Structure formats: C-alpha cells, structure tokens
Amino acid sequence: VTLLRRSSETYARKQQLLQQTLYNSCSSSTGAINKWTSLAAEKDELHKQKNKKQKSQNVFQETIRWNSYASSADAAEVLEEEEKDWRIDNPFFDKARENAAGRRMQENLVGALSLEPREGEEVDETVFKNVDGRRIEDGRYAAFINRLQREGIIAENKILSDPVRTFAYGTDASFYRLNPRYVIKISSEDEIKRILPIALELGVPVTFRAAGTSLSGQAITDSVLLKLSHHGKNFRNYEIRNGGKEITVEPGLIGGEVNKLLARYKHINKLKDQYKIGPDPASIESCMIGGIVSNNSSGMCCGVAMNSYHTVKDLRLVFVDGTILDTSIPESVEAFKQSHAYLLKQVSELAEEVQSDPDLVALIKKKFAIKCTTGYSINALVDAPPSEPMEILKKLMIGSEGTLAFVSKVTFNTVPEFPDKASCFVLFPDIEMACEAAYRLRKQGKASAVELFDRASLKEFENDEKMLKLVKGLSDSGPDAASLLIECTGPDDDDLNERIKAVVDLLREEKYIGPREDISMEIGDFPFTKVADEYKCYWNARKGLIPIVGGARPNGTSMLIEDVACSVDNLGKMAKDLIYMFRRYGYDDAATFGHALEGNLHLVFSQGFRNTAEIERFDAMMQEMAYIVATKYKGSLKAEHGTGRNVAPFVEMEWGTKAYDIMWRLKAIFDPDNIVNPGVILNKDPEIHMKSLKQSPVADSTYDTANKCIECGFCESNCPSRDLSLTPRQRVTVYREISRLKAKESLTIPEQERLRQMTEAFDYMGNATCAADGMCQEKCPVKINTGELIKSLREREMSESANTLAMYAANNFGVVNAMVPPLLNTVDLAHGVLGSSVLETTSRLLNKISGNSIPVWNKYMPRGAKKLDTSDCVSGAEETDIRNSVVYIPSCVTRMMGPARGDSVTEPVHEKMISILKKANYNVIIPESIDSMCCGMMFDSRGNKPAANSKAYALEDMMKEVSMNGRIPVICDTSPCTQTIKNKLRDKMMGFSVYEPVEFVNHFCMDRLEFDKVKENVAIHIPCSSKKMGIESNFKKLAGMCAENVHESGIPCCGMAGDRGMRYEELTKSSLQHLDVPSGCKDGYSTSRTCEMSLSRQSDVNFRGLLYLIDEATRPKQKATGK
C-alpha cells in the first residue's frame, strides 16, 4: 500500500510507477510482490554488469511490455534515464526488417517510392495485372478512350493525359502517389452510366474522385480517374424539403455549402428552426458530399449517431453494369428487383448467414458502437432483416469508398443546428484522468462535443496569447498534462444553462483538476463561456493543431494523420500507449488529440520516406500501432478517415478472418471483375501501405513556405482557376516535381522529355492563370499563399528590360495617371461608333497576337474617370483641425477609371467618397502629390518587385507625413489597394491607421450618418482582399442598412487579379460561372473597380462601388459629433 501510494518525491514516484505496472499484470497482490522482487533484483544486476547493460535493459523493458502492456506508458517514466534503442528486441521491428529484407528504395518515373521487388518477384512489364504499378497499356486503354470518343460519350477536351494534369490529379491528401493514365472530367450521371459498361467490357479499372481530400489513398489510381469536381456546375444540384428536415444533394457540392444552403432556406422562408447535415468533418468547408458519404464521414460533434450511415435516407446509385437504382423512387426499386434479383438474393443470404452467427453479430455490434471505417459497413448485414435486401444494400454503399458503385445523389435526414452554444477548456494533470472525465461525460449525455488534447498539443497552445489569457494555468502544465474542450448546445438559453450546470456538477467531483497534481484548482477556474470570440478561440486552436505540426516538419518529409478509436473507457490507457510508442520510435513532433466522447484519436506526425531505414521505422510503428489499437484494445484502425490503401493490409487483423471473408464476398457480389476502385479497402498485398509513397521534394523558390504544403486540398474551393487549369495544391505539387527533376544529377531520356513538357505546360496552367490573390491562404491550414510562390517565379523570370520599363512607369506615374482617362474615353468613343462586337473581336485578336499582353475589351469596360476635385479638401494637416479629419488616398484605379457606358451613374468613386465624408462632418485631407502615387500592386502581381516596392515605400512616406505618423486616420477607397498598402508597410504600426472604405464607415461614421433602405434587392461581391482583412461581416451589415434584400455573389474570388482577368478572360469566366445574382436584381456592389467590370460582364448587371449605395442611402445626422 505504501509503495503504491503517490509520492511527490521523484524516487518514490518511480518506484510506485514500476510497481503499479507490475501489479496490473498479476492476478494477485502476492504475485505482484513476487514479480516486483524478481525484477528489482534484475535491475540491480543490470547496474552491476555494465557490459550487459543494453541487453538486460531491453529484457527488462520487454518483460514490462509483454507482461503488462496496459501500463507501458507509465513504464516509460521508469526507464527514461536509460538509453534505449527501439530496434533492439522489438518484434515489430524484426517483422519490418524481415519485410524490407535489405531491399533498396526505388523511384518510378513520377517520383513515387517503393521498395524494390524481392528476388523472383520482378514485374513483367508486358503483362497487365490489376494491381497498383502493374496496369500497363496492352491496348485496352487506347480501345477504351476510342470508344468513349467514337460513341460521343466524352468530348476530347474532357480527357486529360498530359504530364502536368495527370500528375496534379495523382495527388490526394494522403502520402501516396499514383498517376492516372487518363483523367476524365465527368459532367453527368448519364456519362457514368455509359462509361462503366465499357470499362467492364474492356477490363479498365476506374476510380471516382470528388474533392480529393481523402487521407488514406482512396482517391487516386494509376488507371482511369473519373473526376467530378472542378467542372463547372455539374453534380451541384440540390432540393430542400419538409422545412429543411430533408435535403437531396449531388456529390459535387461541398459539405459546408450544403449547410449554407440550409441556412439560406431558413432565412428566405422565415422558419424557426435551423438544420444541418449530420456529418461535420474538420474538412467540411472543402470535402464534397461524394466523399462524405463514400467514407462515412463523421466529425467533432456528430459522433456515431449522426454520421452518414445513420442520417442518409436514400441514395441514387450507378452500378458497374450501368444500371441505375434510386431508392427514393418505388418504380426504380421494383425495376432493380426484377433485373438484379440474383444480386439481392446473394445479399439476403449473406445477411442471413451473418445473423445466424451470434459471435459475429456481437463483434459487429461492438465494433460499430464506436467510430469505425475499417473495411465495409457490414453492420448493414445485422441492422436490417435478410428479407429487406434493398435496405441492406443502401447501407452497404455508405463507407464503401467507391468500390461497389457510384453515388450520384444523396438524401439526408438533417439534424437540428442549435443556436445557443457555450464552451470551456479544462486542464487535467494526466491524460488518463482527462479521459476518465470524458467517459463520465459520455454516460451523462449533456455535452455536445468533448475534444481531448495531450501535452504536445498544449505546448502549441502555450504559444497563443489568447489561449494563455483564457485558460488559467495553461503555462504551468506538467509533463503529462492534458485537457478537455467541452461544448454544450441547446435550442434555447434555459436548456443550455441546464446542460452547463449538469456538466459542471459532474466535473466538480473530479479529484484532480488543474495543470499538475501539485497545483490544486477547481472546475470554477475553467468556466463555460457563451462569448463567441472566446469559444471560437478554443475551437480555432483545435483546428490549428494540424498545421502547426505540418508547418514545423522538416523539408522533404510528409505529414501523416492516423485516425484510431476504442471504447471510451479504454481511451486513456490507449492514448498513453500510443504516446509512449511515438516517443520510443523517435517521432518527437507527434501530437495526440481527438473526439473524446467517441473514443477517437487523431495522431499527427511527420515521416520521411527517403531510405530503407525510414521505411523500416514506419512499418514497425504501423505494426505496433495496429497491435495496440486493434488487438489489445479491440478498437478501430480507421475511425472516420476511411480504409483506403493505408490500412488495407490490417483489415483482417482488426476484424478477424471470418468477417474479412464476408467483406471479400461483398465485393464479389457488386463488382466481381474488380473494376471500381480496385485495391482500396481490400487488398491482398501485405505491403501496399508501403508502396507508391509520395515524395515531398523541396520547391526551388524564394517562397520557402510552399514547402510546408501538406497537399490536403482545403485551398481548392477558393481558387478562381480551379475549373480552368490548376489549383493551389496542384501548383505546389507540380512545381515540386519540376524542381525534383531539375535537381537530379542525370536524367533519363523519358525524364528529360517529361521535364520539358511539364515546364512548358506549367507556364500557362501554373503561372499565367494564377490570380495570385492569396485566397488559398484563407483555407490553407498551414497558411500558404500559393500566389506568393507564383509571384516569386514571375519575379525570377522577369527580364531586365521589363523591370527597367516598369521602373520608368513607376518613376513617371503622374504621366501614366494623366494618360489613361483620355485613352479610356477614346476607346469608349469607338465603342459608341463601332459597336460592341467589332471592338470585342478586334481586341481579342490583338490579345492573341500580343501573347495576352493587350486586354480583351468588353462593354462594361470603364470610361475615363473625371478629374479628382479637391476644391473642398485640404492638402495638409496644418490647414485643418486634426481631431476631426481624415486623410483620403483615392486609388490610382478610381482616379483613372469611371463608370461604364450605359451605367445610370456618371460620377467617379472618389466623388462619392468625399460626399460621404463631408456628410459625416469630416475635414478631408488629400495629399498634393496624389496623382503620382500608387500602392504598387499592378507591378507586384506581374513580378516587377523593384517598381512595386518603389511605389509602395513612396506612398508610405507620404502617408506618414500627411497623417502625422498615423495620428490622423487614412482611408483608401479600393479594398485590394488598401490590403496592398498594409502588407507593404515597413512601419507595421502605421497599419493600424489605414482603413478600407467599408471598415472606415463602420467604425467612424455610424454615429454621424442616418441610413435609409433605398433599394429593394442588391447583389454584393466581397472582394478577396476584404475577406482577408476580416471585414466581410461589416460589408454585409452596411449593405443591409441600405437595401431590403442583400444577395451574396457566392464567389470567393472573381479572378480579375488587376488586369490579368482582362488579358486572360477565360480565368474570370471560369471563376464567375458560379456567380449567383437573382433574376430581377438590377444593382450590384463591390469595392474593387476591376472586379466590378468582370462581375458586370458575367451577370449583365452593373456592378459599382459600395460607396455609391452608401452615399445614396445616407444623410447627415442633425448633430454630428467627433468620435
């Protein structure tokens, strides 16, 4: 008893930990004492025989691990003084070394890594075999493509086979690389229906892909990839019914978009209750419905009860023979029963066989009581009677990762989205204590979500000043500390308060709460907060953990995310074992966190695949992790990320032979020829998880941050060129490959040709069509701005003569400023005389001849702006009362460009800005030298860095002088220019005095102006720069004060990128194909003149600056006062 009691003294603590380890392994206390005595003697002998130190230590370690593996994490503290080599006497390493068998790593043409074949297992490159790396062209692929084109199924421009785009689509969010032979952009269900029978006939394997955010290698292939996303408006239809309680969606919609559609439906129909789809994965703003359903996604709050399996009501499916089944249409169901009676009979017989085996039924129910996406959803075989094969079939499709059929439509039963929320962040001295609290919270059922964080995670939170301020004692966390982030939600405040009280009362019973055992704290020290900014801080910190690990990893390594689960009562023990395992194998950056209510852990760490030793370490770690999770704790090796290729070799280990055989029989029922997504979920190759490994070569660029890209794909939905050329993820990965090839000492002839083709193609797809707006950074978990990578390449490629010309223009910008308005008026005059079609055709020809240097004209191109009228303004602070003044910097764009021909307004933006400021009773200061000023953005986007910096720094010096070093606020009337000014400031403190127009009106004019709603319907487009500056909500708020109904454009970025969208008009056309302007809406507003031009052309509605609407809707308050 004395030895088992906790002691604050180090020696006693170590003695207790060791004895507790051994005590847990024995059937009686006598056995514990005997074993303790025996091993204590062994430890003494270890110190006496120094020449046998390493061997004795590992015997000691192995005795602990195998006799009482449940406490191996505690044993780590006892052994931390001893130097250990994880490879010695490690059966998992022995197996990994046996697997590697001294084989070297080999690299294929596209840079994927695998161990070389064993002797006698060399590949016959003349024989097709339906396994990764063996799908050679033996005539079947040529015949397949020929059939698709000859029968008019797929247009030639939708079939991609060039080295850039096949490489780009050979990447998903996993650490595998398989380059498709062909990528086919699919437009409709009918195309799938016609393609699959041809693929079946010719033996051509196909893989379906939506967003490509999968983490286990299930969205890639070296055969034919059928791509749904980045293809316009295809697969994006939806229908909401029953007051929002049901929604039918196609697979190309993003999960977050679906929730926004449901929110808009509630708002438009003025409904009381808000609904959302059940699954809420962390990638919900990027992953698509096709992947959510095919992977049976869940997330932080939905748990098991609200995952795809339990919330999908109906499916529309296309089977490999081309048959369509819609489970929501009785006629379709009856037709399928007639045509596929034998298939349904097999399903019924299999369900009957499973249900007649009590042990198997018990195993299935136990496995699916927690999160589990390892293997197929065979709970379908026990959740419905054998007499209902259609219901079984429907459930089997969920989580099948595209290996049984294609999902073309899904109907969800939605779940309530409660408006009232509160969160608290509670520290515990030990992760097992935190997990025990989570277990009790699960049984209580009052918390909506509980997230667990280990000590490595808390260390990262300590670098966040907001977290340090909100979480008492965070900086005092001990070496084993952990925490729980607890959220409660409710339909109203009373219900929420009742839930909070129940949770607090339960946690008040905890013996230890606080960062360490010797720091006594209470649950009251970690209060719930209903303040959105505070609880969002907690959840943003949670979302930021993955990028922290990804961003800190060494160049050349990949970030891996494993995803495991066990019953919640075992979570603490399993978490300790996994943390100890990572320490032993030297994964020093590993972080362990996850959804504690569901017993779900995410394991994030970096891994290189550069040599055999790294492969052996990875294999040994995977083998041990599989043992800990699947064998020891009877858990799930994949809780919510899907099996893919990553754990396909371990499915039998987790499920046992009987259930594993059932899964193979299911695959044979639906896809006997192994045509759809072969090798995923089930794979007979025990080494498939170590083959086709993706390299992370260093990109040859001054923008080193790009090398931190984890290729997750979160950025893609924000990219204006995603439907046209490449996405940010693809730009980074393709440029890495170009850098890899350039860095090789000697290239084979195929590599030389491939490098040439990729370099030439990247010039347009990667460089020319990149808007470089940085919206990718807004969704990137590692905060990579791919636009900066591209601008660095443009700067490198910029010729000396081009830089000289740019600098000349910068030095003489006053002349440029004076020349542009008359030039625009001349073009507008030609428009009036010649008409739109002649001018547009001529400009398009000149654009082609000039290599995209001359913009393509359209009827919404602006006239020249009227000259800036400063008659009612002053030029310096000394001429006015600075306490009631503002420095106004009209951008060069608004100084040069006025409204377009046909617009109902004729005044330039700067006239409206001055009008608003005067109504608000401000003294307006406009610098005398304004005509020669520019923020430098027009030079920067082209890669003319010297000219860009020259203008930016000159503007900064002038602003500091006129504003008295920022004492007077500075306003610029164009959002992109404002952002550029702030980004280019050398004196970052000056940035606090610079305001975008919406931001300024919201902060400084609300108590000086009266607003009236002067429009019935308006459309707004919030520029990407405004979103990046965080003023999106203010933009919507001001528009709502001026109009009855405000419709957002739904466009992350219009793709205009200064004048790039005029020179590459396909860029803006591609981005704006999703523009949402309701019929009958006649007015559109933004805060970027160039964006407004492209928006007007696409919608045929005049878009103009929001300042026009604000000026029309406002009047001075009778007593305007200073603020």
Question: Helix H segments across 851-987?
Answer: 892-896, 909-919, 937-940, 945-962, 975-984
Distances, alpha carbon 604 to alpha carbons 404, 456, 559, 705, 959, in Å: 30, 11, 7, 20, 46
- Over residues 565-622, the pLDDT tens digits come to 999 999 999 999 999 999 999 999 999 999 999 999 999 999 999 899 999 999 999 9
Sorted by sequence, the CB contacts under 8 Å of residue 168 that are 6+ apart come out as 726, 727, 730, 733, 734
Record the tokens describing residue 59, joined without a space: 């015997």
For residue 567, which phi and psi values (nearest 5 degrees)? -60, 145
692: helix, strand or coil: coil
Q: Which secondary-structure segment (H or E) carries 20?
A: helix 10-25
Contacts 24+ apart (CB under 8 A), 800-806: 802/944, 803/944, 803/946, 803/947, 806/939, 806/942, 806/944, 806/946, 806/947
**Distance between CA 812 and CA 839 in Å, rounded?**
30
62 vs 30: which has the higher pLDDT: 62
Residues composing the chain: 1123
Record the tokens describing residue 300, joined without a space: 């932080």
Question: For residue 1123, is pLDDT > 50?
Answer: no
> Is 931 within 8 Å of 946 (Cβ atoms)?
no
Task: Tell me the mean pLDDT in the region 127-149.
Answer: 96
The label of the residue with tokens 């595209």 reads: 402
Question: For residue 547, is pLDDT > 80?
Answer: no
Ranges 237-241, 350-354, 701-705, 934-938: which has the least confidence: 701-705
**Distance between CA 41 and CA 470 in Å, rounded?**
49
Distances, alpha carbon 934 to alpha carbons 928, 939, 984, 1045, in Å: 14, 10, 12, 36
Q: What pLDDT sits at residue 892?
A: 95
Q: What pLDDT sits at residue 1121?
A: 52
Task: Tell me the mean pLDDT in the region 762-769.
Answer: 97
By C-alpha distance, which of 979, 1021, 1015, 1016 is closest to 997? 979
Q: How many CA atoms lie within 13 A of 218 on its CB side?
A: 31
Give the pLDDT band (50/70/90) at residue 75.
Answer: very low
Question: For residue 31, is pLDDT > 80?
Answer: no
**Distance between CA 57 and CA 79 in Å, rounded?**
9
**Distance between CA 476 and CA 680 in Å, rounded?**
46
Question: For residue 28, is pLDDT > 70?
Answer: no
Strands in 324-326's sheet, in edge-to-edge order, are 238-241, 246-249, 406-413, 312-318, 324-326
**Distance between CA 343 and CA 405 in Å, rounded?**
13
User: How far is C-alpha 875 from the geometric centre of its chain's CA atoms?
Assistant: 48
Question: For residue 24, is pLDDT > 50?
Answer: no
**Distance between CA 73 and CA 77 in Å, rounded?**
8
Task: Tell me the mean pLDDT in the region 21-50.
Answer: 38
By C-alpha distance, which of 993, 999, 951 is closest to 975? 999
Task: Tell me the mean pLDDT in the region 873-898.
Answer: 92
Q: What pLDDT sits at residue 920?
A: 96
Q: What pLDDT sits at residue 42?
A: 44
Q: Torsion-angle region of residue 783: left (phi > 0), alpha (psi -120 to 50) or beta?
A: left
649: helix, strand or coil: helix
Q: What pLDDT sits at residue 964?
A: 95
Question: For residue 36, is pLDDT > 80?
Answer: no
Longest Cα–Cα distance of the chain, Å, equals: 105
Question: For residue 553, is pLDDT > 90?
Answer: no
Distances, alpha carbon 1051 to alpha carbons 779, 1019, 1095, in Å: 14, 12, 10
Q: What percent of the chain has pLDDT over 90?
A: 81
227: helix, strand or coil: strand
By C-alpha distance, which of 242, 236, 246, 250 is closest to 278? 246
Give the pLDDT band (50/70/90) at residue 1119.
Answer: low
Task: Tell me the mean pLDDT in the region 767-779.
Answer: 94
Question: For residue 255, is pLDDT > 50?
Answer: yes
- Over residues 876-886, the pLDDT tens digits come to 988 888 889 99
Question: Helix H segments across 51-188?
Answer: 53-67, 72-79, 91-100, 140-150, 163-168
**Distance between CA 618 and CA 622 in Å, rounded?**
6
Q: What pLDDT sits at residue 1118?
A: 78
**Distance between CA 942 and CA 799 in Å, rounded?**
11
Question: For residue 224, is pLDDT > 60?
Answer: yes
Q: What pLDDT sits at residue 65?
A: 41
By C-alpha distance, which of 1035, 1004, 1010 is closest to 1113? 1010
> Is 895 within 8 Å of 868 (Cβ atoms)?
yes
By C-alpha distance, which of 1043, 823, 1004 is closest to 922? 1004
Q: What pLDDT sits at residue 44?
A: 43
DSSP string, 766-813: IIIT-----HHHHH-TT---HHHHHHHHHHHH--HHHHHHHHHHHHTH
Task: Tell me the mean pLDDT in the region 976-990.
Answer: 95
Distances, alpha carbon 972 to alpha carbons 188, 246, 721, 894, in Å: 46, 46, 28, 10
- Give the gyration radius of the chain's Cα atoms: 32
For residue 69, which phi and psi values (nearest 5 degrees)? -60, -25
Question: For residue 1071, is pLDDT > 50?
Answer: yes
Distances, alpha carbon 868 to alpha carbons 698, 716, 825, 959, 1106, in Å: 49, 40, 16, 18, 19
1079 vs 314: which has the higher pLDDT: 314
Q: What pLDDT sits at residue 39?
A: 40
Q: What pLDDT sits at residue 84?
A: 67
* Burial label, 462 (beta-carbon count in 10 A; 0-12, 13-18, 19+): middle
Q: What percent of the chain has pLDDT over 70?
A: 92
Q: What pLDDT sits at residue 261?
A: 96
Average pLDDT, rounded, for the chain: 90
Q: What pLDDT sits at residue 26?
A: 36
Record the tokens describing residue 297, joined without a space: 């996604």
- Over residues 394-422, the pLDDT tens digits come to 999 999 999 999 999 999 999 999 989 99
Q: Torsion-angle region of residue 414: left (phi > 0), alpha (psi -120 to 50) or beta?
A: beta
Q: What pLDDT sits at residue 540?
A: 86
Question: For residue 38, is pLDDT > 60?
Answer: no
Question: For residue 771, is pLDDT > 80?
Answer: yes
Q: DSSP assignment, residue 765?
A: I
**Distance between CA 771 and CA 1056 in Å, rounded?**
7
For residue 218, which phi and psi values (nearest 5 degrees)? -95, 0
Question: For residue 73, is pLDDT > 80?
Answer: no
Q: DSSP assignment, residue 50?
A: G
Q: Which residue(s) pair with 407 in the sheet?
A: 317
Q: What pLDDT sits at residue 272?
A: 92
Question: For residue 30, is pLDDT > 50?
Answer: no
Record the tokens describing residue 193, joined without a space: 């229906």
Q: What pLDDT sits at residue 67?
A: 35
pTM above 0.85, yes or no: yes
User: How far is C-alpha 406 from the geometric centre of its chain's CA atoms?
Assistant: 24
